[in-house]
Amino acid sequence: MRAKWLALLAATTVVTFSPAMAQDRQPTRAALPARTGVWTYSGTGTVNTYWVETPGGGLVVIDVQRDLIHAAQALAAVKAVGKPVRAILVTHAHPDHYTGLGLFRQAFPGVPVYASKATAEAIRNDTYGANAGEQAEAPEVTPREFVAPGITFDGDTTLQIDGLTIVARELGAGEAPATTAYYLPSTRELFPGDAILNRLHGPLREAHTGDWLGVLDRLEAMYPNVAVVHPGHGASGPKEPMFDDERLYLRTCRAIAAEEIVRGGFTDAAKAATVRRINARFPYTNPTGIKDIVSDSVDGLFWEFSRPSSAPLP
């Protein structure tokens, strides 16, 4: 059960706290270069919480963990910096990125929480049933009430927070039904949420892998000068080969699924063959709380390809 897994994980958690200067910074006189820290934990289910130091002496936090145990540990790491949190940003409405909002709001009363309108409404209304699902599966580490972002924006916007310029761009459907990428022009750092997972299995259950590939193309077009990418899961690093690796993963998974559908149809046997081939091709770690992420992803791929516009014709 997920609850037992969480209890075991909590007992063995390792904190990774790595504030570091991003490479190839180009600060201006008007704004000091940001320092970016990351908190995560070892093992299946890892997700990143980031914080960025602002010119005004505060912090901007991006995403806040999947459950109360890890949110509390991330909060402790943020507090250890010794600076006030000026704002919290949420990239998308998957619970591993927003469950800890309540704890952070308690620790920093009145802190504004920003997200796109689509993301905030999905959290507030539990559009996809994620809140109820978490509460049912692991009530001891899940809040009874989820806090939703209070400041929303439509489409693209530029935020000015404590002297830090943050460009927010909506990416649309991909890994999630909607995702916001946050970019720091002063340091050329990109926070794309789960549009990028650095050599980890990606959850393809949303059945938008074609759109996801388009998201990657648009990100590259919008941000040609990115120096450092901070993915939703996995280690931060340069844009390449991270973008190309993500494309290769998505295209290969799609190709394998298509080949097995042609060979065996939309059958359980074809799904099983697809799972085996993806696991053999990509011996990656599962960064989510999904028990069998590849099997779950193959279900999403088969559903995506079974839509009328994609189903093979005689």
Each domain of the chain, given as residue ranges in start order, spans 2-305
Residue 179's pLDDT band (cuts 50, 70, 90)? very high
Distance, in Å, from the CA atom of 213 to the CA atom of 208, rounded to the nearest integer, reads 9
What is the helix, strand, coil percentage profile of the chain, to 5? 40, 20, 40
Backbone angles phi, psi at 216, to 5 degrees: -60, -40
Q: Identify the CA nearest to 195 among candidates 168, 227, 173.
A: 173
Residue 314's pLDDT band (cuts 50, 70, 90)? low
Write out the two tokens for 230.
């901070």
Q: How much is the pLDDT for 169? A: 97
Q: How much is the pLDDT for 29? A: 30
- Residues sharing a CB contact under 8 Å with residue 28, sequence separation 6 or more, in sequence order: 186
| CA atoms in the 13 A half-sphere facing the CB of 293 | 19
Residue the block writes with tokens 């099983």? 272
Is residue 27 scored above 80 in pLDDT? Answer: no
Least confident of 25-29, 78-82, 98-102, 170-174: 25-29
Average pLDDT, stretch 231-245? Answer: 96
Distance, in Å, from the CA atom of 115 to the CA atom of 90, rounded to the nearest integer, reads 5
* H or E segment and range at residue 73: helix 68-79
Average pLDDT, stretch 65-69? Answer: 96
* Distances 142 to 69, 75, 101, 138, 267 between C-alpha atoms, Å: 9, 16, 11, 6, 36
Residue 34's pLDDT band (cuts 50, 70, 90)? confident
Residue 208's pLDDT band (cuts 50, 70, 90)? very high
Q: How much is the pLDDT for 10? A: 39
Alpha helices in 223-267 (DSSP H): 239-264
Give buried/exposed letters for 183-209 (b at 16+ CB in 10 A, else e): bbbbbbbbbbbbbbbbbbbbbbbbbbb
Q: What percent of the chain has pLDDT over 90?
A: 83
Q: Which residues on neighbouring strands pair with residue 60, listed in sequence order?
A: 52, 87
Write out the two tokens for 212.
């996801």
Strand, coil or helix: what is 37? Answer: strand
Write out the two tokens for 23.
């490479």
Distance, in Å, from the CA atom of 108 to the CA atom of 28, rounded to the nearest integer, reads 30
Average pLDDT, stretch 77-100? Answer: 97
Residue 308's pLDDT band (cuts 50, 70, 90)? confident
* H or E segment and range at residue 151: strand 151-153
Q: Are 126 and 145 in contact (CB under 8 A)?
A: no
* Distances 71 to 55, 143, 152, 304 between C-alpha atoms, Å: 26, 11, 22, 33
Residue 151's pLDDT band (cuts 50, 70, 90)? very high
Q: How much is the pLDDT for 182? A: 98
Q: What percent of the chain has pLDDT over 70?
A: 88
Distance, in Å, from the CA atom of 225 to the CA atom of 229, rounded to the nearest integer, reads 11
Q: What is the CATH number of domain 2-305?
A: 3.60.15.10
